[in-house]
A = this chain, B = another copy of it.
Amino acid sequence: MTYRIVLLPGDGIGPEITRVARAVIERAAALSGFSVRFEEHAFGGASIDRYGEPLTDETLAACQAADAVFLGAVGGPKWDKAPSRPEAGLLALRKALGVYANLRPASVHPALADKSPLRADLVAGTDLLIVRELTGGIYFGRRERTDSQASDTCTYSRAEIARVARVAFEQARLRRGRLTSVDKANVLETSRLWRETVSEMGARDYPDIALDHMYVDAAAMHLLRAPASFDVIVTENMFGDILSDEASMLPGSIGLLGSASLGEARPGIFEPIHGSAPDIAGQDKANPFGAIEAAAQLLDALNETDAAARIRKAVNAMHEAGEWTGDLGGDLTCSGAGVKLVERLEAE
């Protein structure tokens, strides 16, 4: 079995962390007895520079034909004024691959509890998963603009809500059986439809899941007051963007987390959640653990759970040994952390 993985290194620190992810996937695959073929394509700002657009037809076709897509990072001030922005490529890719469910786990490793901006006693035991709707809502609605006025429309259909809610309910079943649906049903019509749809599904198909509803403003507070009380959170695109970035601070470094964007069929998109960090690009300083976690999520999605588990075990061992990059107070370089991780994979 050979998997085809498209790598989109992208911009800023994207290429350096993608190199680490590639090496880690390659090694974990060899140890678990399957093989991978990588194909690299320009994406985001890098693609604008080369081809004048952030996502070419050729790159998209390659992604569509792949078993999985690994994305480094896109964007940077260099393209802020470009007629077509790197971010537009990302949104187009999500839409074209139909990856409507973005899964962002955030858990706090005990060895890292004192790196969190939250008090260690409060953040201890946090292990949550945000399931964000990724191909609908105000991100993809009608836009209007005149010189003096602008508008954006948020639209959701029952079917769009149901399919992402199903992913969240199923994840809750695999975890601790709790699902918090986040909306603003006291104000928004889309949120009322969201709440109705999720409630009906819960009562009909998931009586075993403890479902509750929370307003988005209350959720923003609760993530700080009692982060360990959450299991799975499901929410619409814009709220998910904000809450998942807020939650990403809990583990102490945004450099640690990965995200999986999944649709009905392969390929999914797997990426670290940090940005392109142009200020440290090319300096071999970036924290590659987010990319490594994304690599593990990618293997999980391919059902290569053995390889994914190997990677997570090696990551945990590094945390326990305090083998970190500078953002966590360690002295490893980005590539050095990658080499260490591959060594630990071998050693097991």
In addition to A87-B186, A145-B192, A218-B245, 10 A-B residue pairs with Cβ atoms within 8 Å of each other are A85-B186, A118-B119, A138-B154, A147-B158, A149-B157, A150-B155, A151-B154, A154-B154, A223-B246, A242-B242
A163 within 8 A of B: no
A243-B220, A245-B217, A246-B246 are known contacts. Are A143 and B189 too (CB-CB below 8 A)? Answer: yes
Query: A118 contacts which chain B residues (CB < 8 A)?
Result: 117-119, 224
Tell me, yes or no, whether A230 is within 8 Å of chain B by CB. no
Q: Enumerate 22 A-B pairs (CB-CB under 8 Å) in ascending A order.
A: A87-B187, A117-B119, A117-B225, A118-B224, A138-B138, A138-B154, A138-B187, A139-B187, A143-B189, A145-B189, A145-B193, A147-B158, A148-B157, A151-B153, A151-B156, A152-B189, A154-B154, A216-B241, A220-B246, A221-B249, A225-B249, A242-B242
Binary B-proximity of A146-186 (CB < 8 A = 1, otherwise 0): 01111111111111000000000000000000000000101
A254 at the interface (CB under 8 A from B): yes
A91 touches B (CB below 8 Å): yes
Complex contacts, A151 vs chain B, CB 8 Å:
141, 153-156, 189-190
CA–CA, A173 and B153, complex, Å: 35
What 0/1 pattern do residues 219 to 254 of A give for CB contact below 8 A with B? 011011100000000000011011111101100001
User: Is the C-beta of A122 less than 8 angstroms from some C-beta in chain B?
Assistant: yes
Report the Cα distance A254→B220, complex, angstroms: 12
Interchain CB contact under 8 A, B159 and A148 = yes
Choose one: B122, B224, B242; the contact of A216 (CB below 8 Å).
B242
Cβ of A58 under 8 Å from chain B: no
Q: How far is A186 from B249 in the complex, measured between Cα atoms in Å?
A: 22
Q: Given the complex of chains A and B, what is the CA–CA distance between A216 and B244 in angstroms? A: 12
Residues of B within 8 A of A144 (CB): 189
Q: This chain: how many copies in the complex?
A: 2
Residue A188 is within 8 A (CB to CB) of chain B in the complex: yes
User: For residue A155, which residues in chain B have a CB less than 8 angstroms away from its CB?
Assistant: 149-151
Q: Is A12 an interface residue (CB 8 A)?
A: no
Task: Give, as a whole number of angstroms, the nearest-CB distance from A256 to chain B.
Answer: 13
A96 to chain B, nearest CB (A): 17
Beta-carbon contact of B154 and A153 below 8 Å: yes
Interface residue? A45 (CB, 8 A): no
Give Cα distance in the complex from A249 to B227, angstroms. 13
Q: How far does the alpha carbon of A245 sit from the alpha carbon of B155 in the complex, in Å?
A: 25
* Chain B neighbourhood of A139, CB < 8 A: 187
Task: Check A220–B192 contact: CB distance below 8 A.
Answer: no
Q: Does A75 contact B (CB under 8 A)?
A: yes
A190 to B151, CA, bound (A): 5
A269 to chain B, nearest CB (A): 17
Nearest neighbor of A220 in chain B, beta-carbon distance:
B246
Q: Which residues of B have CB within 8 Å of A87?
A: 186-187
Known pairs A122-B117, A217-B245, A245-B221; A75 contacts B186 (CB<8 A): yes
User: Which residues in chain A, 247-273, are within 8 Å of chain B measured between CB atoms?
Assistant: 248-249, 254
Chain B residues with Cβ under 8 A from A150's Cβ?
155-156, 189-190, 192-193
**B138:A148 contact, CB within 8 angstroms:** no
In the assembled complex, the CB of A311 is this many whole angstroms from the nearest CB of chain B, namely 26
Could you say which residues of chain B place their CB within 8 Å of the CB of A254?
Answer: 221
- A188-200 toward B: CB 8 Å interface, digit per residue (1/0)? 1110110000000
